[in-house]
């Protein structure tokens, strides 16, 4: 059953991608494929001040990042052990950040972009090591919706047949444009 769902997701993902406003980050320097799929978004949450002083307010322009989850599930399917899988995901995200910085730097609306936003269930310490800050999702319905999505992805990503619960609540990820661009200069 799990294998069939993964295969269905693999084949239907290009259709989903065509129906969204997501785009791939192209990296012409090598054969590495960036794990982020991105789009511009207008922030609609509560006002947030990041550690570097960047203030994110309603209607600010952000780059929303999505991990290419089915790709990661397929890449880690042969890896034994959840720690090794997590290490692969961490290293892939880390290797994708310079491409994300180049995408922001070269974007037509670069001046208006204030930062990066995403949603994750990763441990906040891991997020911090990658340069992100985490903030709670205040809307309980949206938080529950994201919890169901991440729990489903987690079940498909693990090789266990037991009901493996997502331990971490979904959280917003933020990184200011300045932090991203200074960490990954050309």
Evaluate the CA torsion angle 99, 105, 106, 111 in order and state its sign. positive
Q: Give residue 157's pLDDT.
A: 65
Residue 58 pLDDT exceeds 50: yes
Residue spans of beta strands (DSSP E) within 54-170: 55-56, 61-67, 113-120, 133-136
Q: What pLDDT is recorded for position 134? A: 92
Burial per residue of 27-64, b for 16 or more beta-carbon CB atoms within 10 angstroms, e otherwise = beeeeeebbbbbeeeebebeebebeeebebeeebbbbb
User: pLDDT value at position 30?
Assistant: 62
pLDDT higher at 171 or 7: 171
Count the residues in the chain.
Answer: 186
Span 134-172, pLDDT tens digits: 998 888 888 887 888 777 777 766 655 444 444 678 889
Average pLDDT over residues 173-182: 95
Q: Is the pLDDT of residue 132 over 60?
A: yes
pLDDT in tens, 75-130: 887 888 878 888 888 999 999 999 999 999 999 999 999 999 999 887 788 889 99
Could you read off the pLDDT of 16-43 as tens digits, one per residue?
Answer: 777 778 888 876 666 668 889 899 999 9
- What pLDDT, on a 0 to 100 scale, did the predictor assign at position 64? 94
Residue ranges of domains in the chain: 2-183
Give pLDDT, residue 94: 92
């Amino acid at each position: 059953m799990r294998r069939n769902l993964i295969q269905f997701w693999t084949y239907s993902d290009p259709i989903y991608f065509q129906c969204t406003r997501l785009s791939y980050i192209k990296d012409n320097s090598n054969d590495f494929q960036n794990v982020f799929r991105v789009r511009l978004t207008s922030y609609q949450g509560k006002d947030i001040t990041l550690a570097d002083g960047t203030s994110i307010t309603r209607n600010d322009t952000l780059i929303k990042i999505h991990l290419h989850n089915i790709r990661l599930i397929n890449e880690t399917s042969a890896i034994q052990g959840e720690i090794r899988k997590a290490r692969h995901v961490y290293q892939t995200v880390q290797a994708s950040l310079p491409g994300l910085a180049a995408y922001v730097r070269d974007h037509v609306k670069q001046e208006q972009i204030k930062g990066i936003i995403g949603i994750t269930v990763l441990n906040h310490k891991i997020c911090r090591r990658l340069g992100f800050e985490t903030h709670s999702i205040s809307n309980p319905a949206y938080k529950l919706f994201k919890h169901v999505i991440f729990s489903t992805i987690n079940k498909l990503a693990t090789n266990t047949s037991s009901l493996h619960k997502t331990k971490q609540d979904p959280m917003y990820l933020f990184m200011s444009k300045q932090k991203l661009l200074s960490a990954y200069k050309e």
